[in-house]
Amino acid sequence: MQSNRTVTDMNRAVYIETYGCQMNVGDSEVVLSILQKAGYHRTEKMEEADVILVNTCSIRDNAEQRVLGRLEVFRHGKKGRGTVVGVLGCMAERLKEKLLENKAVDLVAGPDAYRDLPRLIDAVSVDGKQINTLLSHEETYADILPVRMDSDGVTAFISIMRGCNNVCSYCIVPYVRGAERSRDPRSILNEARCLIEAGYREISLLGQNVDSYRWVNPEDATDTVSFAQLLERVALLDESVRIRFATSHPKDMKDEVLFTMARHANICKHIHLPVQSGSDAQLALMNRKYTREGYLERVAKIREILPGCAITTDVIVGFCDESEEDFRQTVSLMEEVSYDGAFMFQYSERPGTKASRTMKDNVPPEVKTARLNEIIALQNRHSLKNNEAYVGRTVEVLIEGTSKRSKDQLFGRTDTNKTCVFPAAGHRPGETVRVKVLSCTSATLISEITE
C-alpha cells in the first residue's frame, strides 16, 4: 500500500499547474472549487501536496513536450509519499490510457470529467491508476462558482461556452474539447454579479468562438439568447465595470456585436480576430470558411462602426503546401490591416486532425522558422507604429497591479488593450485613472497620471 488515506481524511492539499489557454485557467478554477467542496485546500508548494494536478494543452507539440518534462519532475517529487499525480485537460483527452503508461501518472481526467475527480483520487489508493475521459454534450459546469486563482482581484474571466464545432483542419481543439455547448446565461450573469460584488472591475467572456454562442431555454425553445444579447446583458450589470471577450471568428462575427459594442462605453474596444493566413488557397485547406476578401470586409466593418477599435490576430506559418506566394499573401494582409498585436505560430501537425490524415506537413522546418521570424519583425514594427499614435494623447486606464520592474510604478490597460506603465502617485490597483502617454515601445505606453 502506498497510502493509508481514506475518503474521510479531510483537508488534503492540492497543487495545480495550468498550461494552455485561458479556458484552461478557468477550468483549473472549476477543479479547485470541486475539490474544495470535497475537503481539499490549495497549496502553492508542490512538496506539501497530497495531490498534484497538471492541466494540459495539446494545441502544438511543444505544449505537450513541456508537460511531459514536468511529469518527470513530479515523479521525483512524489517518491514514496503516496502523492497522487493527475493529468487533466486536453492532453489527457488526446492521449487517454497512453498517459497511464507514464510512471509518474496515477490518474487521467478529460475536460468534461472534473466532477468525478474526488472519486477518482480516492480510488487511486484503493484500486490503482484511474481514468475518465468521457466527453459530454451537456457539461458546462454552470452551477460551479470557480475559486479565483492567482487573481489580481481586478480582472477575471468567465467561460460562456465549451468545446468547438468548427473543424479547422490543423486544430486539435474539437477532438479534445468535444462539441460546442453554450452555458445558461442566468449562470453567467450570476457569476458576473458575484465578481462585481467582490470588487472586480473587468470581466472577460471566453469561448473558442463566441460568435456562435446561442442558448436555447430547455423549457421554452422560443426563448433564445445570442452572443450580442448576452454581451449587452453583462454590460448592463454595472456600467463602471469593463467587459471584454474572445475569441471572435471571422466567418461568424456579426455586425450586431459591433453595434452592441458601440452602444456601451464599458465594452472594451478590442477585437481578437484570428486570420491564420492571408492566402485563399491556405484558408481553404485550413477549412476556415472565409476568404481574404471576406476577412478584410469584417475588418472594414469594425473600423466603420468602431473607429479606433484595436484589432489583434493569430497567424500560422508553414501550414501544408504553403508556397512562398501564399506566405507573401499573409505578409501583405498583415501590412494591409496593421494589427495592434498578433500571436504567431509555426504549424505543428497534430495527430488525428484532418490535416494530419489527408495533407503533408511539407514546409521544411528552416522555412517555417524564417517565415515566422519575418512576420514577428513585421508585427513588431506595426505594434510600435500603432503605439506611437497614442503618444501625446490622454487615455483612461484600469490599474491592474504594480509593475514587475519597480514597486513605485503601476501598470494597467486602455480599453484598446494597450499596456501602460506610470508612476503610482498614490493610486492603487482597481482604480481607473487618466494618463498622458509620454513615449512608447512596441509593447508598452510609458505614461503619467494626469489627475
Give the interface with ligand SAH as residue ranges (CB under 6 A). Answer: 59-60, 170-171, 173, 208-209, 247, 249, 274, 276, 314, 316, 345, 347-348, 350
Give the separation between CA 294 and CA 276, rounded to whole angstroms. Answer: 13
Contacted entry of ligand F3S, ligand SAH, ligand SF4, none for residue 109, CB cut-off 5 to 8 Å set by kind: none
Contacted entry of ligand SAH, ligand F3S, ligand SF4, none for residue 418, CB cut-off 5 to 8 Å set by kind: none
Cell of 270: 478590442
Contacted entry of ligand F3S, ligand SAH, ligand SF4, none for residue 174, CB cut-off 5 to 8 Å set by kind: ligand SF4
Amino acid symbol at 427: H
Cell of 230: 448576452
Q: Which is nearer to ligand SF4, 15 or 213 (CB)?
A: 213
Q: Name 401's bridge partners.
A: 411
Closest CA to 154 of 379, 397, 345: 397
Give the separation between CA 14 and CA 136, rounded to whole angstroms. Answer: 25
Q: Which is nearer to ligand F3S, 23 or 344 (CB)?
A: 23
Asked if residue 24 binds ligand F3S (CB under 6 A), the reply is yes
Asked if residue 177 binds ligand F3S (CB under 6 A), the reply is yes
Minimum distance from residue 286 beta carbon to ligand SF4 (Å)? 8
Pair 378, 331: CB distance under 8 Å: yes
Q: Which is nearer to ligand F3S, 314 or 374 (CB)?
A: 314
Cell of 47: 512538496
Contacted entry of ligand F3S, ligand SF4, ligand SAH, none for residue 90, CB cut-off 5 to 8 Å set by kind: ligand F3S
Q: Which is nearer to ligand SF4, 274 or 429 (CB)?
A: 274
Amino acid symbol at 197: E
What are the backbone dihedrals phi and psi of residue 334, each rounded to the nearest 5 degrees, phi first?
-60, -40
Binding range to ligand F3S, per CB under 6 A, among 52-60, 224-232, 340-348, 425-433: 52-60
Amino acid symbol at 440: C
For binding to ligand SF4 (CB under 6 A), which residues are involved? 164, 166, 168, 171, 173-174, 208-209, 249
376-395 in b/e burial notation, b at 16+ Cβ within 10 A?
eebbeebbeebbeebeeeeb
| DSSP label at residue 444 | E
Q: Which is nearer to ligand F3S, 247 or 277 (CB)?
A: 247
Between vectors from CA 239 to CA 238 and to CA 243, what angle results, nearest 5°? 85
Q: ω into residue 247 within 30 of 0, thus cis?
A: yes
Q: Which is nearer to ligand F3S, 61 or 335 (CB)?
A: 61
Return the CA Rg of the chain. Answer: 23
Contacted entry of ligand SAH, ligand SF4, ligand F3S, none for residue 20, CB cut-off 5 to 8 Å set by kind: ligand F3S
Any alpha helices (H) in 38-116, and if so which ranges? Answer: 61-77, 90-95, 97-100
Minimum distance from residue 173 beta carbon to ligand F3S (Å)? 5
Near ligand F3S in 59-78, by CB under 6 A: 59
Contacted entry of ligand F3S, ligand SF4, ligand SAH, none for residue 334, CB cut-off 5 to 8 Å set by kind: none
Q: Which is nearer to ligand SAH, 346 or 409 (CB)?
A: 346
Asked if residue 20 binds ligand F3S (CB under 6 A), the reply is yes
Minimum distance from residue 91 beta carbon to ligand SAH (Å)? 14
Asked if residue 58 binds ligand F3S (CB under 6 A), the reply is yes
Residue/partner pairs of 281-285 with CB below 8 Å, 24 or more apart: 281/321, 281/326, 282/319, 282/321, 282/322, 282/326, 282/329, 282/330, 285/169, 285/319, 285/320, 285/321, 285/355, 285/359
Minimum distance from residue 317 beta carbon to ligand SAH (Å)? 9
Minimum distance from residue 230 beta carbon to ligand SAH (Å)? 18
**How many CA atoms, within 13 angstroms, populate the side-chain half-sphere of residue 38?**
22
The residue number whose beta carbon is nearest to ligand F3S equals: 20
Minimum distance from residue 250 beta carbon to ligand SAH (Å)? 9
Q: Which is nearer to ligand SF4, 15 or 157 (CB)?
A: 157
What is the contact surface with ligand F3S in residues (CB under 6 A)?
Answer: 20-21, 23-24, 57-59, 89-90, 172-173, 176-177
